[in-house]
Chains A and B, each alone.
Chain A
Amino acid sequence: MAEFPAYYNWKHKAGIYMLRFWAAAALLFLIMPILVMVPLSFNSQPYFTFTEGMLALDAKAYSLRWYQKILDSPNWILAIKNSFIIGFFATIVATVLGTVAAVGLASAHMPFKRIITALLLSPMIVPLIIIAAGMFFFYTRFGLVGTLPGLVIAHAALGIPFVVVTVTATLVGFDRALYNAGLSLGTNPVRTFFEVVFPLIRPGVISGALFAFVTSFDEVVLVLFLAGPDQRTIPRQMFSGLREQINPTILAVATLLILLSV
């Protein structure tokens, strides 16, 4: 990048430098909040700001007390447990149903393909608040509000589009002749699927499952509407923490979540 073509005059060069500066500023904007938060979570004071001791790199100004606080709080422990339980089951449901459906959708003989695809992808587009309101009205009738199964169903519905998209993408390059070869060698369709098709689409299934899990793990709007106090999740706990008593425990949880995502 340092070498400029000979026909560049100073205006071109200034333009390029300005562009670089602007892009660097945009990157800084993207990354700054995360950079700021990690050190603040080690703050020994109950504030969201850098104390003078912290700036002077005084060891006493830093502490792990907010991390200790997470472990001491039954609410946070319950939230962490719930987040993993809901995320795990929602991912299983979304991945199994989504993969099977994606295989069907990839078939050239699938009727109403366009409409069905649009329908399956719609949970991605409809605003969460509308989904939350609708689910609240509808799930109440089945006693699913305030239960873990209700949240698993709700989060599975949100995760399904991701699984369908990623698995469909890997199936695009899939050669049907492989499947037919498996069948012609005498195996039944189910076994052929697991031994021939599945290994080939596994990357798509895994990334779809990952998306589904992250979606569930990060989701708070549906939880706000559908969960009772016993179904609190990590994001729900953070949300109420931010609304009521702001202290660096939330930053500590946030830092742990960043570590988890890396």
Chain B
Amino acid sequence: MTAASLRDRTSQSGSTLTREEMAVATRALNRRRLTAFALVTPLLAFIGFAFVAPITTMLHQGVYNPTVAELIPDTLARLQDWDGRGTPDDSVLATMAVDLKRLANDRTAGKLAEELNRGLPGTSSVVKATARKLRNVADHDLPSVGAALLLEANDRWSSPELWRTVREAGKRYSERNFLTALDLERSPDGEIQRRESARIYIQLYVKTIKMALIITVLTFLLGYPLAYMMANSSSRVANTMLIFILLPFWTSLLVRTTSWIALLQTNGVINSLLMGIGITTQPIEMMYTEFATIVAMTHVLLPFMVLPLYSVMKGIDPSLMRASLSLGARPIPSFLRVYFPMTLSGLSAGGLLVFIISVGYYITPALVGGTDGQMISNVIAFHMQQSNNWELAAALGTLLLVVIVCLYWAYDRMVGAGNIKLG
């Protein structure tokens, strides 16, 4: 309530507040606002530190990569004046030789090699071998003979392509990880073009979205009739069915994934059953495929579809369908025209929830997906843990976050984020 609305109220009721009374009321109002805000502040501070700051760090990491800039600052400073054509001056090469020798003695040449190799495959061995050779050269000789030594160690030091890579990798802030994540690259002229080699990430995003869509459709096909039966059964039957749905829902995710491994593996329950009743003689390879990922994730996410649908269907008056049928409409048209439209709110809630969760899923694909059941999250984890390309992981993560935020925005528009229901 604002001061203005207070004034309106009082003028409507006929009495008027004095200036002092107004001031008291406004102060009381401000105090309440302050109290409410003070109650929320500790949590905001906590979330700010524990959650918002980490996400911001990740977004920053995607464009910020100081490694090379810190490793060879002098070379990069001299490379500023190079026009990008032909081999740079001998002074640049000599500085590089000095830098490389220092790195070789600090045992950090490998780091530079790794970073440069990401920009231009094959550079790693050039850098490492040269650094090894330079280790035993005397310091005072290097500025004069460094350039020659560099070219002698490997003639690729004369290639402008390599030096362009060095210059590009030396930028602290750059969009190169995002270009990589979008399967783009910069041509020698600096124009953005599609990367000819290894177009993997766009494909991966498409595959992730395709799998999420399949899972959403499957949860709909399984969940809709189930929710319908629950909503139209006696409360005793409905409660029993609810237990069947909530038991897996409350069971640990890893437990459910484990049980799918037990079911789907080569010597697992399903294969034993199929072979036992003579449908196949050979076990079918189901484990470690896209199929396994989709089945297990459909299982994990089915309750998220059923529960919102059930809560909507429970509120639909069954006499509406009966009226339509008794008036002579055939079942399918009357279902499509009368019943289905009324369930759309539950359907969009469940569908978007399942889709949002499955797009960012990690655990189940990692355990049952093998190589062809991997989703975008798994590749992010790969770059975090195995290839140690944190900047690329951050760029891929940022793109995933953009997709999720767009979906969440749609969800908020259609359903209202405050309406998330639990259990």
CB of B50 closer than 8 Å to a CB of A: yes
Query: CA separation between A168 and B418, bound complex, in Å?
Result: 10
B269, A49: Cβ atoms closer than 8 Å:
yes
In the bound complex, do residue B29 and residue A238 qualify as a contact, i.e. CB atoms below 8 Å apart? no
> Which residues 14-36 of A have a CB within 8 angstroms of B?
15, 19-20, 22-23, 25-27, 29-34, 36
Nearest-Cβ distance from residue A136 to partner chain B, whole angstroms: 7
Chain A residues with CB below 8 A from B37, complex form: 104, 110-111
Q: Which residues of A contact B254 (CB under 8 A)?
A: 218, 220, 235, 238-239, 242, 254
Q: Bin the interface of chain A by size.
A: 35 or more
B331 partner residues in chain A, CB cutoff 8 A: 11-12, 15
Cross-chain contact B377 with A127 (CB below 8 angstroms): yes
Give the CA-CA distance A157 to B129 in the complex, in Å. 47
- Chain B hits for A166, CB < 8 A: 422
Say yes or no: B47 contacts A239, CB within 8 Å: no
Q: A131, B417: Cβ atoms under 8 Å?
A: no
Tell me which residues from 41 to 72 in chain B have a Cβ below 8 Å from any Cβ of chain A.
42-44, 46-47, 49-58, 61
Give chain A residues whose Cβ lies under 8 Å from the Cβ of B40. Answer: 100-101, 104-105, 110, 116
Give the residue of B35, B234, B359, B417 whose beta carbon is less than 8 angstroms from that of A118: B417
> Is there an interface contact between A134 and B54, defined as CB atoms closer than 8 Å?
yes
**Which residues 170-218 of A sit at the B interface, judged by CB distance below 8 A?**
207, 211, 214, 217-218
Contact with A along B312-354 (1 / 0, CB 8 A): 0000000000100110000100000000000000000000000
Residues on the A chain within 8 Å of B303, using CB: 30
- Kindly state the separation between the CA atoms of A143 and B315 in the bound complex, as whole angstroms: 52
- List the B residue with the shortest CB-CB distance to A254: B255
Residue of B at shortest CB range from A100?
B39
A-B CB pair tally, cutoff 8 Å = 277
A116 to B226: give the CA distance in the assembly, Å: 36
For B390, give its contact among A26, A34, A137 (CB under 8 Å).
A137
Q: A129 to B247, Cβ gap below 8 A? A: no
CB distance from B275 to the nearest CB of A (A): 11
CB distance A125 to B356 under 8 Å? yes
A128 within 8 A of B: yes
Q: How far is the CA of A186 from the CA of B355 in the complex (A)?
A: 52
A1 located at the interface, meaning its Cβ lies under 8 Å from any Cβ of chain B in the complex: yes
On whether A37 and B248 interact (CB within 8 A), knowing A134-B58, A153-B50, the answer reads no
Are A160 and B33 CB-contacts (below 8 A) given A48-B267, A128-B362?
no
Q: Is A66 an interface residue, CB under 8 A from the partner?
A: no
Residue from the set A7, A20, A33, A250 with the largest chain B CB neighbour count within 10 Å: A33
| Nearest CB on A from B254, distance (A) | 5
Instruction: Give 1 or 0 for each of A108-134: 1 = CB within 8 Å of chain B CB.
Output: 111100001111111111111111111
Closest B residue by C-beta to A256: B255
Check B51 against A251 for contact (C-beta < 8 Å).
no
The reply to whether B245 and A30 form a contact with Cβ atoms under 8 Å apart is yes
State which of B7-15, B105-113, B156-164, B392-400 sits at the interface with chain A.
B392-400
Q: Does A221 contact B (CB under 8 A)?
A: yes
Of residues 45 to 75 in A, which have CB atoms within 8 Å of B's CB atoms? 47-50
Q: Would you call B255 and A27 a contact (CB within 8 A)?
A: no
Cβ-based interface call for B260 (8 A): yes
Q: How far is the CB of B129 from chain A (nearest CB, A)?
A: 32
- A31, B233: Cβ atoms closer than 8 Å: no
**Distance (Å) between the CB of B208 and the closest chain A CB?**
11
**CB-nearest residue of chain B to A28:** B244
CB < 8 Å neighbour of B262 from A98, A164, A251: A251
Taking CB atoms and an 8 Å cut-off, the chain A residues in 233-247 that contact chain B are 235, 238-239, 242-243, 246
Mark A78-104 against chain B: 1 for CB-CB distance below 8 A, else 0: 000000000000000100011011011
Task: Please state if B50 and A156 are interface contacts (CB–CB under 8 Å).
Answer: yes
Rounded to whole angstroms, the CA-CA distance of A117 and B417 in the bound complex is 9
Cβ-defined contact, B360 with A128, below 8 A: yes
Q: In whole angstroms, what is the CA distance A119 to B52 when docked?
A: 9
Asked if B33 and A109 sit within 8 Å, CB to CB, the answer is yes
Q: Indicate if B217 sits at the interface (CB-CB under 8 A).
A: no
> Taking the complex as formed, is B76 at the interface, i.e. its CB lies under 8 A from any CB of chain A?
no
Residues on B with beta carbons closer than 8 Å to the beta carbon of A217: 252
Contact of B400 among A105, A123, A130, A251 (CB under 8 A): A130
CB A21 to nearest CB in B, in angstroms, measures 9
With both beta carbons as reference points, the residue of chain B lying nearest to A12 in the complex is identified as B331
Q: By the criterion CB–CB under 8 Å, are A110 and B251 in contact?
A: no
Out of A31, A120, A135, name the residue touching B54 (CB < 8 Å).
A135
Contact across chains for A34 and B252 when beta carbons are under 8 A apart = no
**Are the C-beta atoms of A50 and B272 separated by less than 8 Å?**
yes
Tell me the bound Cα distance from A131 to B357 in angstroms. 14
CB distance from B413 to the nearest CB of A (A): 13
Alpha-carbon distance A208/B191, docked complex (angstroms): 53
A93 to B51, CA, bound (A): 14
The answer to whether A26 and B223 have CB atoms under 8 Å apart is yes
Residue of A nearest to B61 (CB): A137
Task: Indicate whether B257 reaches chain A with its CB closer than 8 angstroms.
Answer: yes
User: In the complex, how many angstroms separate the beta carbon of B258 from the nearest chain A beta carbon?
Assistant: 5
Which of A29, A110, A221 contacts B36, CB < 8 Å?
Answer: A110
Q: Which 6 A-B pairs have the closest CB atoms?
A: A127-B360, A104-B39, A134-B54, A33-B259, A134-B58, A101-B43
Known pairs A111-B37, A156-B50, A166-B422; list 14 more (Cβ under 8 Å): A1-B233, A23-B228, A33-B262, A36-B259, A97-B43, A116-B40, A123-B51, A133-B390, A138-B58, A157-B46, A157-B50, A235-B253, A242-B367, A243-B367
A interface residues with partner B (beta carbon < 8 Å):
1, 5, 7-8, 11-12, 15, 19-20, 22-23, 25-27, 29-34, 36-37, 40, 47-50, 93, 97-98, 100-101, 103-105, 107-111, 116-139, 153-154, 156-157, 160, 162, 164-166, 207, 211, 214, 217-218, 220-221, 224-225, 235, 238-239, 242-243, 246, 250-251, 254, 257-258, 261-262
A-B contact pairs, 28 of them (CB 8 A): A1-B234, A15-B331, A19-B229, A26-B222, A33-B299, A49-B262, A49-B265, A93-B46, A105-B40, A111-B33, A119-B44, A126-B404, A127-B360, A127-B377, A128-B377, A129-B360, A129-B397, A130-B58, A130-B401, A135-B54, A136-B54, A137-B54, A154-B50, A156-B46, A165-B420, A251-B262, A258-B255, A261-B252
